[in-house]
Structure 1
């Protein structure tokens, strides 16, 4: 596992580790007698050279059979040629850039890609009769992917993009951008910005500028209402409609069990995110691949076993596309509401995989 275990992105590693431990608590630490050991290496953040060095050390010194983790796309990209050369499968549990798995024939992804996640929110907005949209996205690769995906789906559905802006990754002053949005009078504002203190600032300025009072609806990806920042967003975010492949409110018995185990391990107030579920599913993929190919399988044989695997996740049914090696999953439209006094992203519409 190459993950962010310390520093400003330590929550990434914390969530992933909790997901892995929850899976092994449920399913044990062996597959057909073969012990599954997880070695954690701290990459600290988006540091491609560090990720590459750690991958090389894990392969050469620790003799690992699988590389996993990768909170950031640049880290996954840096490790891709290492995995290819060593013929070691790598399971991406968070990095979400479009077509990422094309960068190595040994890469498999259990998280998501913005190119497939975003179109349903564009479709949903059009179904509500919201024909004019403005876009605001963080100015880096995932933001560009989200922007492209929304524009394409929205315009193909008959909608009109009347404005767009890319904002600095860590900006917390959205007032000047939102004034432009207010003046443009769109039906909806599509937003993709990061969690931390960025998304709460967006909601605060959205309310202060009175965009909701003007009838402008705020929609976006689930990143803007990430579970770990909901208490910071507070009531400013009520009613925000987003698309994401997971909410801790997902109504299934497996998810209820997962949430209970997650909170038993980390605390009753803790909220699991898609990151923890992607790690949980990464372990399900590894276990399933070993059962299919044989507990001693590695390299190409294990990779082939991953292709086409399908199983139930806390987020719902998922599968690995045998051609792209990317995850195939439902996308859920959610609304931020208070449930028993707690802020929650409540799913109310499902766009099934492949439809």
Structure 2
């Protein structure tokens, strides 16, 4: 009788497990700037994450996906760190994700290492971020990845021989300055000056006057998404276009979502980036249509694809590693993964854990009555030159 009862109990347990009732939810802690000066970044990523889950469902490898979204405000690293600690200790998340700016990713890196929890960076762009924790994987981009092709193109194709750099004074901006200066000089150009603007409450006008006085062929700019309208307005007001000074830069300054509000002042500007809402592919047309249906007042930008592809990476890693995978197995499954994104072909470098992707040269122009970043050239399979 005792043996019969034991067999009966085991049978119940096996049946219970086989139907997935015993599987704990797979938790993703998404930390984003949903308020404050960088809220547009957070909203783009959150919308893309929700879109991916809407399209693919919330069950992966027998685990129900539970998304825990936290707003860190985007400006205080200690706040992001505290939220990450709560998510790993209290909520026991399986993956940390998001991270709008570099200082916030830096602050969280030790938490990911201590908890042995994969940390998917969907936005922050300083080259050194993955080196801060062996558990970091990035699906956004690096600023050097975008800047090196811009410098090469400017000299070889754009016939720009003298330039001034103007960057926001924090990690990605300094990356942009260093890499542009190196590649521009190696290509045969000359950098006349390197100027830096404060991250908080930037005023570009005084710097533009200095640039105008130096009379370069072009001004290379890097500024985080959200300040492009102010930058372009002051660039025009200070008379730099009238003086024959071209504006070139990384794509942050011409954020797709903000372009309609910038208007004609953006027209004709050359930038390099890994994504444009005008990217001509079946995958992107499907993505843009679905994104706009979910968020009618937004146009997907380069931050959004970092979120969308970040979710793809997490889902596919869980499928590959299996429902019982721990952080190390998930991380191993992420390394070397490749897929076709709305931005084009992408992969995760198995050694650096950074994204490899195409970088496109774009010109802002009218397309179907609205300003878009229209791609006309590309460099394929670009790794982060800042990690070399």
Instruction: Give me the TM-score of the superposition, normalised by structure 1.
Output: 0.95
- CA deviations 1:154-175 (Å, max 9, x no partner) are 1111111012211222456433
- CA deviations 1:57-110 (Å, max 9, x no partner) are 111211111111111211111111111111111101101111210000000000
Q: 2:359 aligned to 306, 322, 331, which one?
A: 331
Q: Which residue of 1 aligns with 2:17?
A: none
Map residues 1-355 of structure 1 onto 2, 5 A cutoff: 1-127=30-156, 128-171=158-201, 173-196=203-226, 198-267=227-296, 269-354=297-382
What is the CA distance between 1:207 and its match in structure 2? Answer: 2.0
Distance change in 2, residues 1:170/1:81 (3 Å): closer
What is the CA distance between 1:295 and its match in structure 2? Answer: 2.5
Residues 6-15 or 279-288, more deviating: 6-15
- CA deviations 1:119-155 (Å, max 9, x no partner) are 0011110122211111111122211111011001111
Give 3-state SS (helix, strand or coil) of 2:219's partner.
Answer: strand
Distance 1:180 1:56 in 2: 45
What is the CA distance between 1:347 and its match in structure 2? Answer: 0.8
Distance 1:207 1:258 in 2: 34
Distance 1:327 1:21 in 2: 22
Give 3-state SS (helix, strand or coil) of 1:308's partner.
Answer: coil
Distance 2:168 2:161 in 1: 23
Distance 1:7 1:162 in 2: 35
Give 3-state SS (helix, strand or coil) of 1:88's partner.
Answer: coil
Count matched residues: 353
Does the Cα contact within 8 Å between 1:222 and 1:242 map onto a contact in 2? yes
Distance 2:35 2:211 in 1: 37
Distance 1:344 1:70 in 2: 26
Does the Cα contact within 8 Å between 1:34 and 1:296 map onto a contact in 2? no
Unaligned runs of 5+ in 2: 1-29, 384-388
Unaligned runs of 5+ in 1: none
What is the CA distance between 1:213 and its match in structure 2? Answer: 2.7
Distance 2:372 2:242 in 1: 23
Does the Cα contact within 8 Å between 1:172 and 1:201 map onto a contact in 2? no
Does the Cα contact within 8 Å between 1:172 and 1:202 map onto a contact in 2? no
Distance 2:86 2:207 in 1: 45
Distance 2:35 2:203 in 1: 27
- CA deviations 1:238-257 (Å, max 9, x no partner) are 10111111000011111111
Distance 1:211 1:10 in 2: 30
User: Cα RMSD between the aligned structures?
Assistant: 1.5
Distance 2:69 2:243 in 1: 49
Give 3-state SS (helix, strand or coil) of 1:352's partner.
Answer: strand
Distance 1:12 1:163 in 2: 30
